[in-house]
């Protein structure tokens, strides 16, 4: 059995690694740097996690658990969740830029969970039906994560770090406004791309 202090130290190390990996990438982060950020010794980091790779895996697992436990939230809970998610957003953005196997697994998991969530929304009546549920989920997740991968460019134009809550909410509201109310007033582009799709799949 681990003591309460062990569990606290483990969580503190994981949180420090999440922030450091998000800032410098896994390759650019040392165990010593994570230990310094967490206020512990490098030996304690290795005691809890064994290696930097296993520490990265623990960060991936933490992110995945957050995604799996996500659900409906009232306004106050949503605001708290968004504020707490800043390090996770930075971690995801950096992981996707680095293109690691772990990032690939994270993306696949996020898409899968999103596809399930949207399917449930269809069944409950608050999501419109689609002819391609997989493509919808992949596209939706790509839209959500693109500002994190294009962080410097997006931040320059929106006037803030896309991983920070204020900028993340600004971008999310704009996206949700388009998804909820629509962007185009007629179907000319949908018709054109549907025709191309049908031609290419013959």
Choose the CATH number for 1-59 among 2.40.160.20, 1.10.10.60, 3.40.50.12780, 1.10.10.10: 1.10.10.60
**Secondary-structure class of domain 70-200 per CATH:** mainly alpha
Q: For the segment 61-117, what is each residue's pLDDT rounded down to a tens digit?
A: 888 877 776 555 555 566 666 677 888 888 888 988 888 787 888 899 889 989 999
DSSP structure string for the chain? ---HHHHHHHHHHHHHHHHHHHHHTTTT--HHHHHHHHTS-HHHHHHHHSSHHHHHHHHHHHHHHHHHH-----HHHHHHHHHHTHHHHHHHHHHHHHT-HHHHHHHHHHHHHHHHHHHHHHHHTSS---S-HHHHHHHHHHHHHHHHHTHHHHHHHHTS-TTSHHHHHHHHHHHHHHHHH-S-SSSHHHHHHHHHHHHHT-
pTM: 0.78
> Where is average pLDDT lowest: 33-47, 55-69, 157-171, 182-196?
55-69
Q: Which of 90, 82, 84, 96 is nearest to 21 (CA)?
A: 90
* Fold agreement between 1-59 and 70-200: no
Report the residue count for the chain. 202
Q: 169-199, pLDDT tens digit by residue?
A: 999 999 999 999 999 999 999 999 989 988 8
């Amino acid at each position: 059995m681990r003591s309460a202090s062990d569990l606290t130290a483990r969580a503190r190390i994981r949180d420090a690694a999440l922030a450091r990996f998000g800032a410098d990438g896994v390759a650019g982060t040392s165990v010593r740097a994570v230990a310094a950020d967490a206020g512990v010794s490098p030996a304690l980091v290795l005691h809890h996690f064994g290696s930097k790779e296993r520490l990265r895996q623990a960060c991936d697992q933490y992110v995945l658990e957050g995604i799996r436990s996500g659900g409906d939230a009232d306004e106050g809970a949503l605001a708290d969740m968004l504020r707490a998610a800043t390090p996770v957003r930075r971690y995801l953005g950096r992981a996707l830029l680095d293109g690691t196997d772990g990032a690939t697994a994270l993306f696949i998991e996020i898409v899968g969970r999103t596809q399930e969530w949207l399917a449930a929304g269809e069944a409950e009546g608050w999501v419109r039906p689609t002819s391609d549920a997989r493509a919808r989920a992949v596209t939706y997740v790509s839209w959500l994560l693109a500002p994190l991968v294009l962080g410097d460019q997006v931040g320059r134009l929106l006037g803030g770090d896309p991983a920070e809550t204020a900028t993340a909410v600004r971008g999310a509201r704009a996206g949700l406004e388009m998804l909820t109310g629509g962007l185009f007033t007629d179907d000319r582009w949908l018709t054109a791309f549907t025709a191309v799709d049908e031609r290419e799949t013959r």
